[in-house]
Amino acid sequence: MSFNFKDLDLSDVDADGGPTSNRIGVGTHEVTISDAEVRQCANPKHYMVRVNFHDKDEKTIRNDFNVVNSTKKAVEIGQAQLKALLQASRHPNPDKPDDVASLKGLKVQIKVELGKPRDDGNTWPEIKSYMPVGSDINDEIPF
């Protein structure tokens, strides 16, 4: 069977308002790390740490940290951001975290802002800084 968009008929279909966004929006949020894993990138020589966060309403956001990459600047940024997260979340050993599973369950405050427009013109919320839970906005650990 083939499909031709020109033949699409939606005249008997009710419009849906779209999915309710489950993504954490702009602002400061207290979150918990729900999952963390090391992932191989498309380039098999590159690796990142992917961290998923959720808030009390189960809204989510994630951040990827470059830890092995042929671009030195990408590694510097990724490792600095990861260390900021580890320090703000009071990880027991932010210099040598040892096991990626040790991140799961840590709590931290995040400051979320809209990122730069992408190629398609859309902007998405991105984590811009980390703060220990209970700190005020002036205590943020930016990256």
Q: Would the pTM count as exceeding 0.85? A: no
Kindly tell me if the per-residue pLDDT of 136 is higher than 90. Answer: no
pLDDT digits (tens, 9 = 90+) for 22-80: 889 999 999 999 999 999 898 888 999 999 999 999 999 999 999 999 999 998 999 99
Q: How many CB atoms lie within 10 A of CB 81?
A: 23
Query: What distance in Å separates the CA atoms of residue 135 and residue 129, rounded to the nearest whole number?
Result: 12
Any domain includes 46: yes
Any domain includes 49: yes
The label of the residue with tokens 């990408």 reads 74
Any domain includes 123: yes
pLDDT digits (tens, 9 = 90+) for 66-125: 999 999 999 899 999 999 999 999 999 999 988 899 999 999 999 999 988 888 888 889
Kindly tell me if the per-residue pLDDT of 13 is higher than 80. Answer: no
Which is it for strands 27-40 and 107-114: parallel, antiparallel or unpaired?
antiparallel
Phi-psi region of 58 (alpha: psi -120 to 50; beta: other; left: phi over 0): left
Per the structure, how many domains does the chain have? 1
Domain at 130, CATH number: 2.40.50
